[in-house]
A = this chain, B = another copy of it.
């Protein structure tokens, strides 16, 4: 898979990463992009390359709703059209590509495909982020030197937690479960793992402190083709209804930067101790360790051994637990192929977009 899906809402960052009066430069699916907050509060996303001489617009100045290039002073509006050219008249060439961008669920979403198809109704619904009290909301960003699909695979095969995170997120129960996969709307997949009558995961022991406690656990991951995943996991005393137990609601978002680098955004909130900041800090610490010190080096090591080859071309000895990730990759391949086969009228590829019109 060498091309990225174009018609997709990619997550470009947490909204709190976007300071007033400061641009944010981030490469998404090979597009160098600049984000800023206009005077009217709306977020703007432009190709981060002045059409005059290709200076990074992110090194420029926000002026009201506009962004002025810091090199020779051309000023561009939120639509990418030049509003002021200190050096002469206007022309069609004095335009930088603007990308549809939306703030929702505390995240920045950017659409890299045909603007006409950018329907914000297609953004995955993440209501638990909006509902989360500040005191129990955790979010993080882990830039990783690996292809984003290896990062997606990591979440779609949660058995890895039993071996890579045994002291926090794993305990063997994922391996003992079988994943069931359902097709969902918008080429999404839902994967469910059920593990009944198990000891609680280490990170759940505060919820089930009695020695020898046994619980029923459920874990549900929903994946969307843009690399967005929700992960809901919970536990309840064995035999009890879920409402008698606890659960955690998380996102794991793997946005491609380039073919060999990924923006990994995660969040975590929960059904218990929602105003207990000490609990939040403990969980945040455990997650940061698991994602930064365990997942990241393992997947970067995996990427180093794969090199620039396509994973499947190397004939991995796939297991039953690879079912969800294999199915997700197949969907993505189909979607990318469909985009390539039916080039829409005004579709621009990443390389075309980085040249001027």
- Interface residues, chain A, with chain B CB atoms under 8 Å away: 32, 48-49, 51-56, 59, 68-73, 85-88, 91, 93-94, 153, 157, 159-160, 162-164, 175, 297-298, 301-302, 304-306, 311, 314-322, 354-356
Contact = CB atoms under 8 A, between A and B. Distances in A.
Contact of A87 (B59, B73, B302, B319): B319
A194 B4 CA distance: 51
A54 to B, nearest CB: 5
Report, nearest first, the 7 A-B pairs whose CB atoms are least far apart.
Answer: A87-B319, A93-B317, A73-B163, A56-B301, A51-B317, A87-B321, A54-B305
14 contacts: A32-B305, A51-B317, A52-B316, A53-B153, A53-B302, A54-B305, A54-B306, A70-B163, A70-B164, A71-B298, A72-B159, A72-B160, A72-B163, A314-B356
B32 A88 contact: no
Contacts of A314: 54, 355-356
Contacts of A71: 160, 163-164, 298, 302
Contacts of A93: 315, 317
A315 B356 contact: yes
Given A53-B302, A54-B306, A163-B70, A356 B317 contact: yes
A175 B87 contact: yes
A72 B157 contact: yes
B317 A73 contact: no
B88 A319 contact: yes
A356 B318 CA distance: 12
B55 A298 contact: yes
Given A55-B298, A87-B320, 5 more contacts: A53-B311, A56-B304, A71-B164, A71-B302, A93-B317
Nearest to A297: B59
Contacts of A164: 70-71
Contact of A162 (B59, B73, B85, B301): B73
Contacts of A354: 305
A52 B305 contact: no
